[in-house]
Structure formats: structure tokens, C-alpha cells
């Protein structure tokens, strides 16, 4: 037994989970897939006094459903369920695509979409996709339900806009621009990303591109949008020079960290190279 002692409670409803979080304000943790929380407990990086198991709430939070023309993914939907969902494959193909880059079979059998977003790993693929697609996080707290845009949700490494007594209940993906490319560079197969990158856009009949979003992971203290680069490309026809200049602009919105996976310098080198390649691939309709 490696973790420090804690009390274990099973939540019977979202309201119950919120009440428990409120009661133990700041000293309790929700347990979803456990694929990030339990390693941190085992390493004693976290020592909550109460662990609130929400796995029993799958009836309420384990569904992938169409809401109007948006796709609402319950916080307890596991990666393996994303892999199997035809609704996700059809409506949110980028989400389906990136799941293959997360962990391994056992991790994907347990890890949840809500856990991944709440954990807010700066390299996390799901967090990256919520930014790239402009997703909305729905949270429930003692004062009711509120929606938080992905852009306002990730505040820093492992830090989100969720209050300590709020629970994430759904991640909602509105319809997004149809074309995307995703790239990831890791140290080894399915390891956490050194750089991850999603570009999304809509090709118009007149040859211009609209609704460009470029999301970067692993190169800042949180997943970020390369807003300056996207602005440079919006509503224009792309040629090599424009794409190259936009790719350089991507560096304006990130401040890559130095860590055991890679140096900041290496990450800074990777960003424009791969943004350029993904934009060219998007424009050319090839990999």
C-alpha cells in the first residue's frame, strides 16, 4: 500500500458528489478512471483525506448523445467507448482520431473523458481537442450548472476553472469545421506528447479557408490556441509563404517548458516545423 490513508466514499448521484466535495472543501478528490489520480496517490503527490468514487454514476454521465447538432459526451465516458462510438466517428472524428494516441489498451479501458479534461495535463490529447473544436465544459456545483468554454477552462498545469466543489458532468462538442489534421511527437509509442498539434478549418468553394483553429499541446503550461497564426490564415487563400509565416506566428502563443521529455529549445524548433506541415497537409488534402 503506497498511498497515504484516506476515506473512500461512493457518490450515488451528481448532487451527492457535489455535496461531498462541498463538505470536504479542497480536501477531497473525485475518482473517475483512476488512470491519473491513482498513480498520484501511489506516489503520494496527492494526499486527499477523502476519495469520492463517481464510477457508479455511469447511468447519468456515461452517455454519448446528440443535443441539437452538438455531441454531448458524459464525463464518465471511457476512451474505449469513444473508440467504439459511431456517433463520435461521424460527428467528432478528431476526438475519435486522437484517442488512439492515449496510453495503452488498459488505460483506454478505464480512463474517462471527464477525468482527462479535469486533470488538465498540458500534454493531454483530449484537452487539446476540446480547444481545437471549441468545446464547452458543463459543470455542476452547489449553485447549479454552468458552462465553461474550453478557452477559459485550462488555466495552467493541472489547473482548471473548476471550483473545488464543482464536478464536470459533460463535454459538449458543437459542430466544427470539417477538415482537420493531427500530429503528435512523443519520446516513445503512446507516451505523453512532447508536442501535439491539431489544425481545424473549413475550405470554401472560392479557395479560401474559414474557422481556422490551431491547438498546441505540450509546448505551454496548458494546451493553447495559436490565435495569431489562425488569424493570419483566416479568410485567405494559402500559399507556401503565407503558411510558413503563419507557422512562425504559432510561437507567439506558446512558451515551451524545459523538462525531462525535451528541452524548451527543441520544442520551439518543433512548433513551426510541424504547424507548417499540418497546414500544408490540410490545404493539400494529404497527410
Partner 1 sequence: MIETVPILVTVNGTRHVLDVEPRMHAADLLRGMLGLTGTHVGCEQGVCGMCTILLDGTAVKGCLLLAPQLDGCEVETVEGLATGEELAPLQRAFKEAHALQCGFCTPGFLMAATALERSGRRLTREEIREELSGVLCRCTGYEGIVRAVERRLTGG
- What is the binding site for ligand FAD (CB under 6 A)? 29-37, 39, 75, 102-103, 107, 111-112, 114-116, 118-119, 121, 124-126, 162, 167-168, 190, 192
Q: Which of 11, 21, 30, 51 binds partner 1 (CB under 8 A)?
A: 51
Give the range of 49-57, 59-67, 137-145, 211-219 binding partner 1 by CB under 8 A. Answer: 49-57
Give the binding range for partner 1 (CB under 8 A) out of 2-10, 128-136, 146-154, 158-166: 2-10
Comparison of 6 and 158: residue with beta carbon closer to partner 1: 6
| Nearer to ligand FAD (CB atom), residue 75 or residue 250 | 75
Round to whole Å and give the CA distance between 162 and 179. Answer: 31
Partner from partner 1, ligand FAD, none binding residue 53, C-beta < 5-8 Å depending on class: partner 1
Alpha carbon distance 193, 202 (integer Å): 26
Whose Cβ is closer to partner 1: residue 4's or residue 66's? Answer: 4
CA distances from 69 to 23, 87, 91 (A): 37, 12, 9
From the centroid of its chain, how far is CA 83?
Answer: 16
SS3 state of residue 277: helix
Q: Which of 19, 62, 83, 190 binds partner 1 (CB under 8 A)?
A: 190
Q: Is 105 in the site for partner 1 (CB under 8 A)?
A: yes
Buried b / exposed e along 99-119 (16+ C-beta atoms within 10 A): bebbbeeebbebbbbbbbbbb
DSSP 30-58: EESS-TTHHHHHHTTS---SEEEE-GGGH
Q: Is the dihedral of CA 110, 115, 120, 126 positive or negative?
A: positive
Tell me which of partner 1, ligand FAD, none is bound by residue 30, counting a contact when its beta carbon lies within the kind-specific cut-off of 5 to 8 angstroms: ligand FAD
DSSP 169: E
Looking up cell 458528489, which residue turns up?
17
Q: Pairing between strand 209-217 and 159-160?
A: unpaired
Task: State the binding string over 126-165 for partner 1 (x if CB under 8 A, else -).
Answer: ----------------------------------------
Is residue 86 a contact residue for partner 1 (CB under 8 A)?
Answer: no
Please list, residue by residue across 229-242, b when 16 or more beta carbons sit within 10 angstroms of its beta carbon and e when fewer do: bbebbeeeebeeee
Which of partner 1, ligand FAD, none does 216 bind, CB closer than 5 to 8 A by kind? none
Residue 2 touches partner 1, criterion: CB under 8 A: yes
Binding site for partner 1 (CB under 8 A): 1-8, 31, 34-35, 38-39, 41-43, 51, 53, 55, 80, 103-107, 109-110, 189-190
Amino acid at each position: 500500500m503506497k498511498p497515504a490513508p484516506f476515506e473512500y466514499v461512493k457518490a450515488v448521484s451528481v448532487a451527492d458528489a457535489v455535496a461531498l466535495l462541498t463538505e470536504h472543501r479542497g480536501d477531497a478528490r473525485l475518482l473517475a478512471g483512476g488512470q491519473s489520480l491513482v498513480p498520484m496517490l501511489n506516489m503520494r503527490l496527492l494526499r486527499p483525506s477523502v476519495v469520492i468514487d463517481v464510477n457508479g454514476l455511469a447511468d447519468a454521465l456515461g452517455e454519448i448523445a446528440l443535443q441539437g447538432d452538438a455531441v454531448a459526451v458524459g464525463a464518465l465516458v471511457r476512451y474505449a467507448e469513444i473508440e467504439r462510438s459511431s456517433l463520435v466517428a461521424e460527428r467528432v472524428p478528431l476526438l475519435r482520431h486522437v484517442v488512439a494516441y492515449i496510453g495503452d489498451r488498459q488505460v483506454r479501458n478505464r480512463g474517462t473523458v471527464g477525468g482527462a479534461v479535469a486533470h488538465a495535463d498540458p500534454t493531454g490529447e483530449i484537452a487539446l481537442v476540446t480547444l481545437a473544436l471549441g468545446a464547452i465544459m458543463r459543470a455542476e456545483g452547489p449553485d447549479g450548472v454552468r458552462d465553461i468554454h474550453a478557452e477559459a477552462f485550462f488555466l495552467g498545469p493541472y489547473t482548471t476553472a473548476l471550483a473545488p466543489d464543482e464536478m464536470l458532468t459533460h463535454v459538449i462538442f458543437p459542430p466544427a469545421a470539417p477538415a482537420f489534421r493531427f500530429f503528435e511527437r512523443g519520446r516513445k509509442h503512446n507516451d505523453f506528447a512532447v508536442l501535439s498539434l491539431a489544425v481545424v478549418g473549413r475550405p470554401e468553394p472560392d479557395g479560401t479557408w474559414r474557422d481556422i483553429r490551431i491547438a498546441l499541446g505540450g509546448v505551454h503550461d496548458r494546451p493553447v490556441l495559436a490565435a495569431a497564426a489562425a488569424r493570419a490564415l483566416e479568410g485567405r487563400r494559402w500559399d507556401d509563404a503565407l503558411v510558413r509565416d503563419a507557422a512562425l506566428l504559432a510561437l507567439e502563443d506558446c512558451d515551451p517548458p524545459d523538462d525531462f521529455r525535451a528541452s524548451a529549445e527543441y520544442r520551439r524548433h518543433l512548433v513551426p516545423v510541424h504547424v507548417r506541415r499540418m497546414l500544408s497537409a490540410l490545404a493539400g488534402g494529404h497527410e
